[in-house]
A and B are shown apart, each in its own frame.
Chain A
Amino acid sequence: MPKLNSATELEELRQDILSKRDPNKRCIAICAGTGCLALGCGKVITAFKEEVRKQGLEGKIDIRETGCPGFCENGTVVTIYPEGIFYIKVMPEDATEIISQTIIEKKVIERLLYVDPATNEKVVHEKDVPFYKYQTRILIGNNSKLDPKSMDDYIALGGYSALAKALSHMTPEQVLEEVKKSNIRGRGGGGFPAGRKWESVRNAPGEPKYVIVNCDEGDPGAFMNRALMEGNPHSVLEGLTIGAYAIGSHEGFIYVRAEYPLAVENVGIAIRQAEEYGLLGENIFGSGFDFKVKVHRGAGAFVSGESSALMTAIEGRVGEPRPKYVHTSEKGIWDSPSCLNNVETWANVPLIINNGADWFDSIGSERNTGTKIFSLVGKVNNTGLVEVPLGTSLQHIIYKIGGGIPGGKKFKAVQTGGPSGGCIPEKFLDAPVDYDELAKLGAIMGSGGMIVMDEDTCMVDTARYFLDFLADESCGKCTPCREGIRQMLGILTDICEGRGKEGDIELLEELAEVVKDTSLCALGGTAPNPILTTLRYFRDEYKAHIEQKKCPTFVCKELTSYYIDPAKCEACLICLRNCPVGAIDGGKGKIHVIDQSKCTKCGTCFDICPDRFNAIARISGEPVPPPPSEEERVVVRVEK
Chain B
Amino acid sequence: MVTVELDKVDEIIDRYVGEEGILIQLLLDIQSELNWIPKEALERISERLKIPVSQIYRIASFYKAMSLTPRGRHIVNVCLGTACHVRGGPRIMDRAKQILGIDAGETTPDMKFTLERVNCLGCCALGPVVVVDRDYHGKITPAKVKEIIETCD
Give chain A interface residues in 217-234, CB to chain B under 8 Å.
217-223, 226
Q: Are A258 and B125 in contact (CB under 8 A)?
A: no
Q: B1 to chain A: closest CB distance in Å?
A: 22
B83 CB contacts on chain A under 8 angstroms = 220-221, 377-378, 383, 451
A460 beta carbon closer than 8 Å to chain B: no
Given known contacts A34-B121, A73-B125, A578-B143, is B82 in contact with A301 (CB within 8 Å)? Answer: no
Q: Which residue of A lies closest to B137 (CB)?
A: A38
Among A374-391, those with CB < 8 Å from B are 375, 377-379, 383-384
Produce 1/0 per residue, A17-41, CB < 8 A to B.
Answer: 0000000000000000011011100
B85 contacts which chain A residues (CB < 8 A)? Answer: 220, 462, 465
Inter-subunit contact A299/B66 (CB<8 Å): yes
Given A35-B122, A38-B136, A317-B59, residue A453 in contact with residue B28 (CB < 8 A)? no
What is the CB-to-nearest-CB distance from A460 to chain B, in angstroms, rounded to a whole number?
A: 13
Residues of chain A contacted by B129 (CB below 8 angstroms): 38
Q: Would A37 and B136 count as touching, CB distance under 8 A?
A: yes
A317–B59 Cα gap in the complex (Å)? 7
B39 at the interface (CB under 8 A from A): no
Task: Tell yes or no: B58 within 8 A of A by CB.
Answer: yes
Indicate if the CB atoms of B98 and A581 lie closer than 8 Å.
yes
Closest B residue to A219 by beta carbon equals B120
Please name the residue on chain A nearest to B58 by beta carbon: A318
Q: How far is the CA of A469 from the CA of B95 in the complex (A)?
A: 20
| CB pair A602 B142 closer than 8 Å | yes
Query: Would you call B150 an interface residue if the criterion is a C-beta within 8 Å of the partner chain's C-beta atoms?
Result: no
Instruction: Give the interface centre of A302, A462, A602 by most chain B CB atoms within 10 Å.
Output: A602
Q: How many A-B residue pairs have CB under 8 A?
A: 148
Judge whether B35 is part of the interface by a CB distance below 8 angstroms.
Answer: no
B40 at interface, CB cutoff 8 A: no
Contact check, A607 vs B138: say whether CB atoms are below 8 A apart: no
Contact with A along B119-148 (1 / 0, CB 8 A): 111111111010000001010011100100
CA distance A469 to B21 in the complex (A): 28
CB distance from A38 to the nearest CB of B (A): 3
Give Cα distance in the complex from A73 to B123, angstroms: 9
Q: How far is it, in angstroms, between the C-alpha of A465 and the C-alpha of B83 when the chains are bound?
A: 11
Chain A count of residues within 8 A CB distance of the other chain: 60
Alpha-carbon separation in the docked complex, A79 to B23 (Å) = 43
- The reply on A190 being an interface residue by CB < 8 A is no
Distance A536 CA – B138 CA, assembled complex (angstroms): 34
| Stretch from A199-207, A308-316, A349-357 contacting the other chain | A308-316
When the two chains form their complex, are residues A377 and B141 in contact, meaning their CB atoms are under 8 A apart? no
Determine if A136 is an interface residue (Cβ-Cβ < 8 Å).
no
- Measured between C-beta atoms, what is the minimum distance from B92 to chain A in Å? 9
Q: Across the two chains, which residue of chain A brings its CB closest to B62?
A: A318
Contact B136 A608 (CB under 8 A): no
Q: Which of A223, A378, A604 contacts B141 (CB 8 A)?
A: A604
**A34 contacts B122, C-beta separation under 8 Å:** yes
51-87 of chain B: CB within 8 A of chain A = 58-59, 62-66, 80-83, 85-87
Q: Distance (Å) between the CB of A231 and the closest chain B CB?
A: 12
Cβ-based interface call for B91 (8 A): yes
| Chain A min CB distance to B50 (Å) | 14
CB under 8 Å from chain B, chain A span 605-637: 607-608
Find the residue from A218, A220, A258, A578 having the highest chain B CB count within 10 A: A220
Q: Verify A300–B141 contact, CB threshold 8 A.
A: no
Question: CA–CA, A260 to B118, complex, Å?
Answer: 12
In Å, the complex CA distance between A262 and B20 comes to 25
A526 to chain B, nearest CB (A): 15
* Inter-subunit contact A604/B143 (CB<8 Å): yes
Residues 312-336 of chain A, each 1 if its beta carbon lies under 8 Å from chain B, else 0: 0111111100000000000000000
As a 0/1 sequence over residues 296 to 309 of chain A, the CB contacts with chain B under 8 angstroms (1 = contact) are 11111110000000
Q: Which residue of A lies closest to B20 (CB)?
A: A316
CA distance A37 to B135 in the complex (A): 9
- The verdict on B152 contacting chain A, using a C-beta distance below 8 Å, is no
Most A CB within 10 A of own CB, among B23, B82, B98: B82
Contact B118 A221 (CB under 8 A): no
**CB-based contact B82/A451 at 8 Å:** yes
Q: Are A378 and B124 in contact (CB under 8 A)?
A: yes
Known contacts A300-B65, A318-B58, A378-B83, A217 near B122 by CB under 8 Å: yes
Partner of B95, one of A222, A296, A377, A602: A602
**Min CB gap B31→A, angstroms:** 8
Q: Given A39-B126, A297-B25, decide whether A607 and B62 contact each other with a Cβ distance below 8 A.
A: no
- Min CB distance B152 to A, Å, is 18
A449 at the interface (CB under 8 A from B): yes
Query: Contacts of B7 on A, CB cut-off 8 Å?
Result: none
Q: What distance in Å separates the Cβ of B35 from its nearest Cβ neighbour in chain A?
A: 15
The answer to whether A316 touches B21, judged by C-beta atoms less than 8 angstroms apart, is yes
**A221: B residues at CB distance < 8 A:** 81-83, 120, 124
A580 cross-chain contacts in B, Cβ below 8 A: 95, 98, 142-143, 146
B residues within 8 A CB of A375? 124
Residue of B nearest to A451 (CB): B82
Q: Which of B64, B123, B126 contacts A300 (CB 8 A)?
A: B64
- In Å, the complex CA distance between A123 and B88 comes to 32
A600 at the interface (CB under 8 A from B): yes
B125's contact among A226, A314, A384, A602, by CB below 8 Å, is which?
A384
What are 25 inter-chain pairs, A to B, with CB distance below 8 A?
Answer: A34-B121, A34-B123, A38-B121, A38-B129, A38-B136, A38-B138, A72-B124, A219-B120, A221-B83, A259-B121, A299-B65, A301-B63, A317-B23, A318-B59, A377-B83, A379-B86, A453-B86, A475-B62, A580-B143, A581-B98, A602-B94, A603-B142, A604-B141, A604-B143, A608-B143
List the interface of chain A (C-beta within 8 A of B).
34-35, 37-39, 72-73, 75, 217-223, 226, 258-260, 296-302, 313-319, 375, 377-379, 383-384, 415, 418, 449, 451, 453, 457, 462, 465-466, 469, 473, 475, 578, 580-581, 600, 602-604, 607-608
Which 4 A-B pairs have CB atoms at the shortest separation, nearest pair first? Answer: A300-B64, A223-B122, A38-B136, A220-B81
Extra A-B contacts (5), CB below 8 Å, given A35-B122, A317-B21, A377-B82: A316-B20, A379-B87, A580-B142, A600-B98, A603-B142
